[in-house]
Amino acid sequence: MADHPHKLRYGILSTGNIARQFAHGVQEGASLSTIHAVASRDPRNALTFANTYNIPKPHNSYDDLINDPNIDAIYVALPNNYHHEWTIRALNAGKHVLCEKPLAVTTQQATEMFQAAEQNDRHLAEAFMYLTHPLTKTYIQSIKNGDIGTPKLLRTSFSFSVAYPENNSRFSTALAGGSIMDIGCYCVTLALLVADATTSPGSYPSQIHAIAHLHESGIDDYAAVTLRFPNNLIVSFVSGMTAQMDNTTYISGDNGYIQIPVPWKPPVQNATFHIDHNIPSKQDKLAKPTGSSPNQKQSFNINTPNDKPLYALEADAFADTILNDAPPFITPEFSLRTARILDEIRSQINLPF
Ligand SMILES: NC(=O)C1=CN([C@@H]2O[C@H](COP(=O)(O)OP(=O)(O)OC[C@H]3O[C@@H](n4cnc5c(N)ncnc54)[C@H](OP(=O)(O)O)[C@@H]3O)[C@@H](O)[C@H]2O)C=CC1
Ligand SMILES: O=C1CO[C@H](CO)[C@@H](O)[C@@H]1O
């Protein structure tokens, strides 16, 4: 592989839905990343994709892509069950890997993937893009600053209704789908972020309770989970692929609460969160101030730097670690904790893969 160029040169594995969003975002607004190549099982799709997103090199097979000497990093945008195999193959071919979430089907697989990264002296990161948006960083900092006092409750969700479940990997047990794997995983990471913001990083739930409804395809199409952390933070979340929801998230402390209307795919401009102190709950006319804060609602509107698209932020965050030794936006330890919780949830809902 050549010396580091000014920009990290990505190769994209697949031409599916998220591959398109990633390519669009990076080509539109990344500053440290560029896309050099793409591969598809179908050469016609690789060519069309390359032409659409101005990518110099379409490859006719995944193998050709991971062995391309003009690529520094592979973006693995395959269904969940393929993450383990193709991440390890790309790492063994000397490439860094940004792999879509959830990183792996099991903790065992995730562990093997990080071992391969270490053996090959390459970086591997799980592509939770919302972690790289300044909105997320700002409200987590606000918790650390003590703006809502001690966080007690996190209530969140990631739920929507899929229009065409047929032929959608999210509804396939063979492809390791299901609402917990597809989007419940975001809620798990937010639970860990908030728990880490209030205690020393690395805490793991002392209790996990999960229930789910299983779709005729075999996967969970909606689920509810509660987590309790050793510092008494209690989290409840729901995930769903056949249930519509707006996914507003609340983090409640003894001196106020944070409300995040769009936590998972925040916009480029005016990504918003609110902090409410002593605002009456809807059934009450008067709120008696508690603590030192007066009745007050503060709103924060956050833009990405230079209006950088969400997936360009993510690509550049990974590139910054590789090119400039910047701290990683997500650590192996964080991904492994996430995988362990997902394993436990799936075991409780009888969905072992
Ligand atoms: N971070 C985010 O915002 C998002 C992340 N994701 C994650 O990205 C990954 C891919 O999801 P998404 O893009 O929605 O999925 P798609 O089904 O749209 O695309 C997956 C692609 O993988 C390739 N592929 C290889 N083998 C198979 C197979 N057996 N069945 C289907 N596709 C196959 C195909 O590309 P080809 O034919 O070109 O080889 C296909 O287009 C998942 O892990 C998902 O969790 C998904 C959406 C958003
Ligand atoms: O990661 C993801 C984010 O959003 C999508 C829907 O809005 C999910 O289905 C997906 O897999």
Ligand nearest to the CA of 179: 2
The Cα–Cα gap between 30 and 309 comes to 8
Q: Are residues 245 and 159 in the same domain?
A: yes
Residue 126 DSSP label:
E
* Per-residue model confidence (pLDDT) at position 192: 98
Our measurement of the distance from residue 213's CA atom to the centroid of its chain's CA atoms, rounded to an integer in Å, reads 23
What are the Cα distances from residue 273, in Å, to 154, 181, 258? 15, 26, 7
What is the pLDDT of the chain when averaged over all its residues?
Answer: 95
Q: Are residues 148 and 89 in the same domain?
A: no
Domain count, the chain: 2
- Name the strand (E) or helix (H) holding 17: helix 17-29
Q: Are residues 139 and 124 in the same domain?
A: no
For strand 124-126 and strand 96-99, is the pairing parallel, antiparallel, or unpaired? parallel
Q: What is the pLDDT of residues 135-167, one digit of tens each?
A: 999 999 999 999 999 999 999 999 999 988 888
Which ligand 1 atom sits closest to the C-alpha of 19?
Answer: 13
* Per-residue model confidence (pLDDT) at position 5: 56
Residue 318 forms part of a structural domain? no
Q: What is the pLDDT of residues 191-221, one digit of tens each?
A: 999 999 988 788 999 999 999 999 999 999 9
The Cα–Cα gap between 265 and 133 comes to 9
Residue 320 forms part of a structural domain? no
Domain termination residue (choose one: 100, 128, 156): 128
pLDDT at 77 over 70: yes
Contact between residue 260 and residue 138 where contact means Cβ atoms under 8 Å apart: no
Question: Residue 266 Cα, ligand 2 centroid: separation in angstroms?
Answer: 13
Q: Are residues 68 and 155 in the same domain?
A: no
What is the span of the domain harbouring residue 38?
A: 8-128
Instruction: Answer whether 126 contacts ligand 1 (Cβ < 6 A).
Output: no
Q: And the tokens for 339?
A: 């995988």
Ligand nearest to the CA of 131: 1
Q: And the tokens for 185?
A: 């995983």
* Per-residue model confidence (pLDDT) at position 1: 38
Ligand nearest to the CA of 18: 1
ipTM over 0.85: yes
Which ligand 1 atom sits closest to the C-alpha of 314?
Answer: 1
* Per-residue model confidence (pLDDT) at position 2: 42
- List the CATH number of the domain containing 196: 3.30.360.10
What are the Cα distances from residue 344, in Å, to 85, 206, 210? 22, 12, 9
Residue 56 forms part of a structural domain? yes
Residue 311 forms part of a structural domain? no
Residue 325 forms part of a structural domain? no
Q: Are residues 95 and 110 in the same domain?
A: yes
Q: What is the pLDDT of residues 255-302, one digit of tens each?
A: 999 999 999 999 999 999 999 998 777 766 655 666 666 678 899 999
Question: Residue 189 Cα, ligand 2 centroid: separation in angstroms?
Answer: 14
- List the CATH number of the domain containing 63: 3.40.50.720
Residue 174 forms part of a structural domain? yes
Q: Are residues 145 and 70 in the same domain?
A: no
Q: Are residues 163 and 289 in the same domain?
A: yes
Domain termination residue (choose one: 99, 128, 157): 128
The Cα–Cα gap between 174 and 178 comes to 11
Sequence-ordered list of residues with C-beta below 8 angstroms from that of 191, at least 6 positions apart, any chain: 154, 156, 205, 227, 229, 233, 235, 237, 341
Closest CA to 351 of 240, 167, 237, 210: 210
Instruction: Answer whether 33 contacts ligand 1 (Cβ < 6 A).
Output: no
Q: Are residues 63 and 28 in the same domain?
A: yes
Q: Are residues 141 and 104 in the same domain?
A: no
Residue 27 forms part of a structural domain? yes
Residue 343 forms part of a structural domain? no
Q: Are residues 167 and 283 in the same domain?
A: yes
Q: Are residues 113 and 174 in the same domain?
A: no
DSSP 21-77: HHHHHHHHH-SSEEEEEEE-SSHHHHHHHHHHTT-SEEESSHHHHHT-TT-SEEEE-
